[in-house]
Structure 1
Amino acid sequence: MSYTPAEVSFLMDHHEEIVSLDLALTKASRLKDAEVLKEKFGDFGRAVMELVTARNSGKLPHNWLMDADSAQQATPIGVAAYRMSFLAEQGVHTVHDLTCSIGTEGYNCPFDYFGSDLDESRVRMARYNLSSSKIFRADALTTTTTADVLLADPARRAGGRRITRPGDLVPPLPEVVDKHRGKELAIKCAPGLDFSEWDGLVIVASVDGGVKEACLYTPGLGTGRNAVMIRGEKIDVLDDQETNLPEAGDIGSYLIDPDGAIVRAGLVRHYAAREGLHQIDPRIAYLTGERIPEGTSAFPFIEKVPLKRLKSVLKSYDAGSLEILVRGVEVDPDQLRKKMKLKGKKPFAVIITRIGSQGIALLCQPRVSSSEDNYAT
């Protein structure tokens, strides 16, 4: 639940008291914590509870003002930092964030950052979080600006569901482009958005293996498709410039499930070419080869198993636990695990997928991480 402007002012004025609070913040303690805050802060207790809970997520700087929705919707700090670094490399000197919310994109921005938002409470929080006066209330579709690049993040959900069509975003992506025609744009979207018709650059970003967003850049900022994978301090960027792409082939020593950013960006074969791998089927994203790419994990391959024989094969291997991956086949992993009725002692993994027209189970040893023994530099 968002704050009123009065609640934002209260949270600012009582920053030190709030920081010094000692609350359990567990599911079991939630009612007791709320009672403590109600007694201490009166009608503002709800806002304080929302703030300390949102801060407890650890996604954003611990001293920022935020509510549950803005914290959940916020761009990860690492993704925002990469974007600003990328724009700086393109010669950008000023960015106007048309939907700035609480200011995540402006955190540690290396050049001039201006922000605007329709929500007055979020504007106040952004000013506080960034210690900036360059943030104001405005509609993303009517703002005029002289900034080098306009950044926008249209709402990606409606009625509790993810939006997959550009015209259904709020505001609609075509309308954002039309209203600011002639300006360079960077538009953040859900990674599942159909961006096949976008003429400019699309960068799909993931953090620790979880896909976070696709950002669409107008052609003046670049073209093509990139995948950006952020793991801790390391950033791996994959582009679509490779032309010598491998064909699908036989299964090798390892099976690799590429980072979701690679899959969403349509760069599976490009990644395979870079890492000396190939697909097990031209329509399926699983890769295989004789090495595990540095900084990733994979499954040592054992054998192909017809789906109808999987239960008996697992029993013969004394399987007791099972990691299940599914792609290209309608199988529910939880139901399959129950159906297997595992009673053994050894851990295994199984990839349920399709090779050609045949659904197949690929039995593997448990997931292993790359090391000097299984990747080549």
Structure 2
Amino acid sequence: MERSELIELLSPDGLRLLDSLPEWDSSADVVRTVAELRKDGHAPGLVAAVLSQAKLRAKAAGKFGEFARTMLFTEAGLEQATRLRVAALHAGRFAGAGVKHVADLGCGIGGDAIAIAALDLRVTAADADEVTATLASFNLAPFPHANVLHARAEEVDLEALDGGPADGIYLDPARRSAGHGNTSRLTRPEDYTPSLDFAFGLAERFPTGVKLGPGFDRSLIPAEAEAQWVSVDGQLVEMGLWFGALARPGIRRSALVLNRDGSHELAASGDSDDVEVGELGEYIYEPDGAVIRSRLIGDLARSLDASMLSDGIAYLTADTAQETPFATCFRVIERLPADEKKLKAALSARGIGTLEIKKRGIDIDPATLRSRLKLKGSAAATIVLTRAAGKHVTLLVERV
């Protein structure tokens, strides 16, 4: 979004037009909609801006629910924003630690700041990008104890904020290239803005939370931090580092799984040791990504009375099935041939035309394999390509 587009959008006519639009319908005739709005006398730039926002609001409903109807976004800002359900848990940490004024440095479109302000905490949010800071200001307008600055994180004077000094810090360092549309992911932590050195320096002075990608290099995690990996409905979304009063005593690794049944957590004082490798049982378990990243597979295995299927591979096996929010359980129907031609014949003999392929520890692309198999049939199935006790296996399975 360009500055000129933002100015049009934030005009009384722009906001009135945006709010008057029906709910976005991806199947609607956009050309016709544009023509009708132009016929009503609306400028081309304004029409483009409001239709873009209507589309983003519909997309944002998955992260922000009903709040999305009254918020403004950029494509990049929405992609990088924290889901409101997760942001509420972040905010709860600050409230639970007795923090009164949070400085949200690198606030983006304001997702975390909204959750903090909703708990009646004062929040000063800052973003280096002018358009993004303006959108955050709009999104935080309903909260009188929230303030937004157009400033780099390093430039914010934490002792001279409206409402008094900050006593807690939240940072979401930019991990993508600058821009409001399609941006690229930054793979090197030294390229983040603000830098990790800056973030970890603040953590030495304040209760601090730092949001990072779930694949963040574990060797860079400070020893004093609580590291929590979060998955939402099976999707691994973030790794949060918590310092000072925001870190829970005795916990340095945790896996938080959020699903339609609620919130579930595995927590430990450190990485857990894997259990021994065992014989393939009647069931295999695929741990949630948060459990894998937090290296708490061993603790999960012990809770399920399960064994590792093979060294270094995140599949567990057992002879009994137990319900758990931390893993998906599959019943092993039978072993199939590992040879591709024989596998194709075996699947064809069973009338399988739709195939889900799961794999770990095997160097193969599931989409390419599925294409080569050229299956036809009315049945659907799931196979697991992995190793059991170090040997390649192909397992026909079904979800429990």
Identify whether the pair has TM-score above 0.5, normalized to the shorter chain.
yes
For the 8 Å contact 1:96–1:115, the answer to whether it is kept is yes
**Larger fraction in helix:** 2
Distance 1:205 1:351 in 2: 25
Residue type of the partner of 2:101? Answer: T
Residue type of the partner of 1:248? Answer: V
Structure 2 partner of 1:374: none
Q: Which of 323, 333, 340 does residue 302 from structure 1 map onto?
A: 333
Deviation at 1:208, TM superposition (A): 0.6
Structure 1 partner of 2:364: 331
Deviation at 1:79, TM superposition (A): 0.8
RMSD between superposed Cα atoms in Å: 2.6
Structure 1 partner of 2:289: 260
Q: How does 1:207-286 map to 2 (within 5 A)?
A: 207-222=232-247, 224-232=252-260, 234-241=262-269, 246-286=275-315
Distance 1:361 1:24 in 2: 44
From the superposition, tell whether residues 356 and 35 of structure 1 become closer, same or farther in structure 2 (CA, over 3 Å). farther
Q: Which of 352, 355, 375 does residue 388 from structure 2 map onto?
A: 355
Distance 2:263 2:130 in 1: 35
Structure 2 partner of 1:7: 8
Distance 2:263 2:236 in 1: 14
Structure 2 partner of 1:105: 112
Deviates more, 1:281-290 or 1:179-188: 179-188
- Could you say what secondary structure the match of 2:215 adopts? coil
Q: Which of 197, 207, 218 does residue 195 from structure 1 map onto?
A: 218
Deviation at 1:206, TM superposition (A): 1.2
For the 8 Å contact 1:227–1:261, the answer to whether it is kept is yes
For the 8 Å contact 2:105–2:169, the answer to whether it is kept is yes
Residue type of the partner of 2:191? Answer: D
From the superposition, tell whether residues 3 and 75 of structure 1 become closer, same or farther in structure 2 (CA, over 3 Å). farther
- Could you say what secondary structure the match of 1:196 adopts? helix
Residue type of the partner of 1:317? Answer: R
Structure 2 partner of 1:142: 155
For the 8 Å contact 2:87–2:115, the answer to whether it is kept is no
Deviations 1:179-213 (A, max 9, x none): 67522321111111113231211111111111111
- Could you say what secondary structure the match of 2:138 adopts? helix
Distance 2:37 2:153 in 1: 36
- Could you say what secondary structure the match of 1:71 adopts? helix
Deviation at 1:244, TM superposition (A): 7.8
From the superposition, tell whether residues 71 and 36 of structure 1 become closer, same or farther in structure 2 (CA, over 3 Å). farther
From the superposition, tell whether residues 141 and 241 of structure 1 become closer, same or farther in structure 2 (CA, over 3 Å). same
From the superposition, tell whether residues 292 and 34 of structure 1 become closer, same or farther in structure 2 (CA, over 3 Å). farther
Distance 1:244 1:81 in 2: 32
Structure 2 partner of 1:120: 130
1:82 and 2:96 aligned: no
From the superposition, tell whether residues 80 and 364 of structure 1 become closer, same or farther in structure 2 (CA, over 3 Å). same
Q: How does 1:111-190 map to 2 (within 5 A)?
A: 111-130=121-140, 131-132=142-143, 133-145=146-158, 146-158=165-177, 160-178=183-201, 181-190=204-213
Structure 2 stretches lacking a partner, 5+ long:
159-164
For the 8 Å contact 2:337–2:394, the answer to whether it is kept is yes
Distance 1:122 1:152 in 2: 15
1:287 and 2:316 aligned: yes
From the superposition, tell whether residues 270 and 93 of structure 1 become closer, same or farther in structure 2 (CA, over 3 Å). farther
Deviation at 1:13, TM superposition (A): 5.5
From the superposition, tell whether residues 201 and 241 of structure 1 become closer, same or farther in structure 2 (CA, over 3 Å). closer
- Could you say what secondary structure the match of 1:255 adopts? strand
Deviation at 1:336, TM superposition (A): 1.3
From the superposition, tell whether residues 197 and 124 of structure 1 become closer, same or farther in structure 2 (CA, over 3 Å). closer
Q: How does 1:14-53 map to 2 (within 5 A)?
A: 14-22=14-22, 25-26=25-26, 29-40=29-40, 41-42=42-43, 43-53=45-55
Structure 1 stretches lacking a partner, 5+ long:
369-377
How many residue pairs get matched? 366
Distance 1:282 1:89 in 2: 40
Deviations 1:198-240 (A, max 9, x none): 1211111111111111112235532511111111360111112
Deviates more, 1:176-185 or 1:109-118: 176-185
Deviation at 1:258, TM superposition (A): 1.6
From the superposition, tell whether residues 123 and 278 of structure 1 become closer, same or farther in structure 2 (CA, over 3 Å). same
For the 8 Å contact 2:275–2:298, the answer to whether it is kept is yes
Structure 1 partner of 2:161: none
- Could you say what secondary structure the match of 1:250 adopts? coil
Deviation at 1:271, TM superposition (A): 2.1
Structure 1 partner of 2:162: none
